[in-house]
Amino acid sequence: MTTLYLYAVFNGVVLGMAIFLVAAGLTLAFGIMKIFNFAHGAFFMIGAYIAHAVTGQEASSLPLFLGAALVAALAVGGIGILTDLAIFRRLGNVPHEYTLMAAFGIMLFCTGAARIAFGQSVHAIYPPEAIGGFSNVGFLVSHYGLFIIASGVVVFLVLEIGLNRIWFGKMIFAVARDPWMADVIGLRVQRLKLASVAISFALAGLAGGILVANQSLSLDLGHSYLLLAFCAVIVGGLGSIKGAFIASLIFGLAESLNSVVLPTMPGIGSYALLIVLVLIRPQGIYPELSQ
Amino acid sequence: MNRIAQIALLLLLAAFLFAPFLVNPGLVFIAGFALIQIVFALSWNLLFSYAGLISFGHAAFFGVGAYISAVVLRDGHGIHFVLVILICAVAGAVAALLVALVVLRRASGVQFAVLTLALSQLIVVLIGYSSLLGHDEGIAAIPRPVMEFGLFTLDLNRPLTNYYFVLAICLLAVGLMWLLVKGHMGRAMQAVRIDAERAAFIGIDVWRVRVVAFTISGAFAAVAGALLAPWGQIVTPDYVNWLQSAQPLFAALLGGAGFFWGPVVGVLGLSGINYLTRTFAGLSEVLVGASLILVVLLAPQGVLGAVRQFARRRGGGNPGGRP
């Protein structure tokens, strides 16, 4: 019984880190642009397809797998720059709800384009052999799961240190807090916004490349993570990386323990938890960037 | 300009009235769906354009109506279908009232949108558990009702009767919403949307107005759902999930939020795109997506907003459309 729970906890942490990989870019985009980027899930999916195109069904080595994730991050980051130049930048004077519709439009556009480009079929992807195995520590620990946890922690540390301790992060914070004032003191607001949008999209591509082997690859891939990532961003406090990290862990564990504690009612835990958490603390765990 | 708007509205009404004689049955089927979506989108727009609330889970109330009427029709209780629609409206109103009482007290803005989204997704999950509601596959092959009115009988198995029944109920619902919006309640709702604090100063009970608006909106959404069961003959959880909840948002913003008739234009536009691209997998999403982006970039007031601006620039006359 204990091992069952330990196994569920391990899986919960893996899922939590997977959610965080998606939520990190989402919360960054919200902090800087103040819009909910519904297209994030679609770009995550495109990243996964790009990684799949680079490696094929099973990457021959770990460096190739990581390289493919990097290629996906760069490619999706590039798409992000184009999207910002063509669309997001022009939304400055448009009411809030309309920016939401633009994001929705981009999502539909990307899903449709991916359907035309990649076809409807579902692919089964395997992790490379170096991280494809299992270890037995009372229960089976998949090495790929450990790899996802490590990736999540690395991304978290890089973002947290990068945003809070380094000049570049402080400039982004300044732009997020008050674009007008940042402009007055001589920051290049448009360029910084472009950079952070590119980073946010690149994170989506990276997440796609890393998580591509976590489940079968299909066009619905975006939806499955997007909703949970949204939950994490809301509960974490809009725009907060730290909050998103903690909330992702909470939702990952809730989703995983749900299947052990209430096996007859799959999928109910995270939504019930979301409702309770938002009712208790509507402003989120760390309401820093949102104001 | 007002006259042009009236003429356009009458032409639209005529097009719907004579649709079964003008176009093939496939298009009539789509027209019926469009009517149902119009009522649904208008009910959502009551909240958005008039009460200033963005609900992301409105499909839940649509689903309440759809599932109640589907179950009643499937089990053949012999309840008069008009009564079923009324039951659906009441059930939708009660569900919306409960949600409003819990959610509106704690949350507003983004949090409100997310809470409604979470509640509707919770309902999708719960439907998946229920064998009464057909799990994830939904309820299919729903029989169409036959209604006795004393003097005459309406048999919805006849395509023409079915279409005009849906049209009549939808026109009634649209008319009721129009009266509501133009009346005292609509003014109060608009005051709350524009500036809740000032509305409170002039003696409007903001909290009550919002709760009542949400309740009424839920009732109309449920009526739209109730019509889906006999028209489409299939009800699945897809009609309750968040993508269905987003449809009225698209329609309202595409047609022009702030106009009562905006969602109507939006639904017609979206149905048209879907119909024209139905044979190309993926292309319809690309086109709907591209048109949403274009509308946001080029005409942030929606189609009707762009028309009004054009008319103002030309004639400088009264603003057309109806806010």
Instruction: Return d(Cα B186, Cα B51) in angstroms, integer.
Output: 8
Neighboring chain B residues of A279 at a CB cutoff of 8 Å: 102-103, 106-107, 115
List the single range of A81-85, A147-151, B66-70, B128-132 with lowest mean pLDDT: B128-132
> DSSP class of residue A239?
T
pLDDT at B97 exceeding the cut of 90: yes
pLDDT at A101 exceeding the cut of 50: yes
Contacts of residue A250, Cβ cutoff 8 Å, sequence gap at least 6: A16, A232, A235, A273, A277
Q: Is residue B323 part of a domain?
A: no
Question: For A84-90, what is the mean pLDDT?
Answer: 85
Taking an 8 Å cut-off on Cβ atoms, the answer to whether A97 and B129 are in contact is: no
Question: For A242-259, what is the mean pLDDT?
Answer: 89
Maximum average pLDDT range among B61-65, B201-205, B312-316? B61-65
Report yes or no: A270 and A254 within 8 Å, Cβ to Cβ.
yes
Instruction: Return d(Cα B158, Cα A196) in angstroms, integer.
Output: 59
Question: For B56-84, what is the mean pLDDT?
Answer: 88
Report yes or no: A285 and A240 within 8 Å, Cβ to Cβ.
yes
Instruction: Return d(Cα B59, Cα B99) in angstroms, integer.
Output: 13
Question: For B245-274, what is the mean pLDDT?
Answer: 86
Instruction: Return d(Cα A61, Cα B112) in angstroms, integer.
Output: 47
Q: pLDDT tens digits for A122-160?
A: 887 788 877 777 877 777 788 888 889 999 999 999 998
Chain A: closest CA distance from residue B157 (Å): 36
Contacts of residue A148, Cβ cutoff 8 Å, sequence gap at least 6: A14, A17, A18, A21, A210, A211, A214
Instruction: Return d(Cα A243, Cα A233) in angstroms, integer.
Output: 7
pLDDT category, A206, cuts 50, 70, 90? very high
Domains and CATH numbers, chain A: 2-280 (1.10.3470)
Phi, psi of B146 (to 5 degrees): -115, 130
Taking an 8 Å cut-off on Cβ atoms, the answer to whether A100 and B281 are in contact is: no
Question: For B254-267, what is the mean pLDDT?
Answer: 86
Give me A192's structure tokens: 């910084």
Report yes or no: B47 and B217 within 8 Å, Cβ to Cβ.
yes
* B176 and chain A in contact, CB less than 8 A: no
pLDDT category, A291, cuts 50, 70, 90? very low
pLDDT at A52 exceeding the cut of 50: yes
Instruction: Return d(Cα B21, Cα B27) in angstroms, integer.
Output: 11
Q: Is residue B321 part of a domain?
A: no
Which of B247, B243, B208 is CA-nearest to residue B51?
A: B208
**The pLDDT value given to residue B316:** 55
Question: For B224-235, what is the mean pLDDT?
Answer: 89
Taking an 8 Å cut-off on Cβ atoms, the answer to whether A112 and B285 are in contact is: yes
- Three-state secondary structure call for residue B157: coil
**The pLDDT value given to residue B225:** 93
Q: Is residue B147 part of a domain?
A: yes
Q: What average pLDDT does chain A have?
A: 84
Q: Is residue B62 part of a domain?
A: yes
- Determine the residue of chain A that is closest to B250 in CA distance: A101
Beta pairing partners, A58: A126
**The pLDDT value given to residue B322:** 46
Question: How many helices (H) and strands (E) would you count in chain B?
Answer: 13, 2
Count of domains for chain B: 1
**What proportion of chain A, given as a percentage, has pLDDT over 90?**
18
Question: For A216-226, what is the mean pLDDT?
Answer: 78
Chain B: closest CA distance from residue A139 (Å): 30
> DSSP class of residue A126?
B
Chain A: closest CA distance from residue B295 (Å): 9
* A35 and chain B in contact, CB less than 8 A: no
- Three-state secondary structure call for residue A109: helix
List the single range of A1-15, A218-232, B46-60 with lowest mean pLDDT: A218-232
Which of B254, B225, B236, B275 is CA-nearest to residue B35?
A: B225
Kindly tell me the burial class for residue B123, based on how many C-beta atoms sit within 10 Å of its own C-beta (0-12, 13-18, 19 or more): buried
Taking an 8 Å cut-off on Cβ atoms, the answer to whether B115 and A278 are in contact is: yes
**The pLDDT value given to residue B19:** 82
Instruction: Return d(Cα B246, Cα A9) in angstroms, integer.
Output: 34
User: How many angstroms from the chain centroid is the CA of residue B29?
Assistant: 17
Q: Is residue B320 part of a domain?
A: no
Choose among A95, A108, A271: nearest Cβ to B285: A108
pLDDT at B224 exceeding the cut of 90: yes
Give me A5's structure tokens: 């729970």
Neighboring chain A residues of B242 at a CB cutoff of 8 Å: 227
Q: Is residue B70 part of a domain?
A: yes
Residue to substitute from A49, A228, A233, A275, interface B, most B β-carbons within 10 A: A275
Q: Is residue B109 part of a domain?
A: yes
Question: For B46-62, what is the mean pLDDT?
Answer: 87
Neighboring chain B residues of A111 at a CB cutoff of 8 Å: 282, 285, 289
* B122 and chain A in contact, CB less than 8 A: yes
Please spell the DSSP secondary structure of B161-219, one letter per residue: HHHHHHHHHHHHHHHHHHHHHHSHHHHHHHHHHH-HHHHHHTT--HHHHHHHHHHHHHH
- Three-state secondary structure call for residue A134: strand
Taking an 8 Å cut-off on Cβ atoms, the answer to whether B289 and A109 are in contact is: yes
* B298 and chain A in contact, CB less than 8 A: no
**What proportion of chain B, given as a percentage, has pLDDT over 70?**
96
Which of A14, A48, A25 is CA-nearest to residue A208?
A: A48
The residues in B 128-147 lying below 8 A from A, measured between CB atoms, are 128-129
Taking an 8 Å cut-off on Cβ atoms, the answer to whether B295 and A101 are in contact is: yes
Q: Which residues of A207-242 are buried (b: 16+ CB within 10 A; e: fewer)?
A: bbbbbbbbeebbbebbbebbbbbbbbbbbbbbbbbb
Question: For B114-133, what is the mean pLDDT?
Answer: 84
A112: left (phi over 0), alpha (psi -120 to 50) or beta: alpha
Kindly tell me the burial class for residue B168, based on how many C-beta atoms sit within 10 Å of its own C-beta (0-12, 13-18, 19 or more): exposed
**The pLDDT value given to residue A264:** 76
Instruction: Return d(Cα A270, Cα A278) in angstroms, integer.
Output: 12
Taking an 8 Å cut-off on Cβ atoms, the answer to whether B281 and A120 are in contact is: yes
Structural domain harbouring B125: 2-315
Give me B258's structure tokens: 């702030």
* A85 and chain B in contact, CB less than 8 A: no
Answer with the residue of higher pLDDT: B319 or A2. Answer: A2
- Determine the residue of chain B that is closest to A88 in CA distance: B297
Answer with the residue of higher pLDDT: A240 or B180. Answer: B180
Residue with tokens 């149902």: B36
**The pLDDT value given to residue B221:** 94
Answer with the residue of higher pLDDT: B277 or B240. Answer: B240
Which of A200, A199, A205 is CA-nearest to residue A68?
A: A205
Taking one residue from A and the other from B, the number of pairs with CB-CB distance under 8 angstroms is 124
Cα distances from B287 to residues B65, B109, B151, B302, in angstroms, run 31, 30, 49, 17
Cα distances from B307 to residues A57, B13, B36, B266, B303, in angstroms, run 52, 20, 25, 14, 6
Q: What average pLDDT does chain B have?
A: 85
pLDDT category, B121, cuts 50, 70, 90? confident
**The pLDDT value given to residue B321:** 45
Taking an 8 Å cut-off on Cβ atoms, the answer to whether A234 and B54 are in contact is: no
Question: For A203-214, what is the mean pLDDT?
Answer: 87
**The pLDDT value given to residue B193:** 85
Instruction: Note whether ipTM > 0.90 here.
Output: no
**The pLDDT value given to residue A78:** 93
Instruction: Return d(Cα B55, Cα B213) in angstroms, integer.
Output: 12
* B100 and chain A in contact, CB less than 8 A: no
Taking an 8 Å cut-off on Cβ atoms, the answer to whether B257 and A90 are in contact is: no
- Three-state secondary structure call for residue A122: coil
pLDDT at B237 exceeding the cut of 80: yes
**The pLDDT value given to residue B175:** 93
* Helix intervals (H) in A166-240: 167-177, 179-184, 189-211, 221-236
Taking an 8 Å cut-off on Cβ atoms, the answer to whether B125 and A231 are in contact is: no
Report yes or no: B61 and B96 within 8 Å, Cβ to Cβ.
yes
pLDDT category, A76, cuts 50, 70, 90? very high
pLDDT category, B255, cuts 50, 70, 90? confident
Answer with the residue of higher pLDDT: A157 or A119. Answer: A157
Please spell the DSSP secondary structure of A52-108, one letter per residue: HHHH-SB-SSHHHHHHHHHHHHHHHHHHHHHHHHHTGGGGTTS-HHHHHHHHHHHHH
Answer with the residue of higher pLDDT: B151 or B45. Answer: B45
**The pLDDT value given to residue B323:** 44
pLDDT at B106 exceeding the cut of 80: no
Instruction: Return d(Cα B92, Cα B219) in angstroms, integer.
Output: 5
Q: CB atoms < 10 A from the CB of A141, how many?
A: 18
pLDDT category, B48, cuts 50, 70, 90? confident
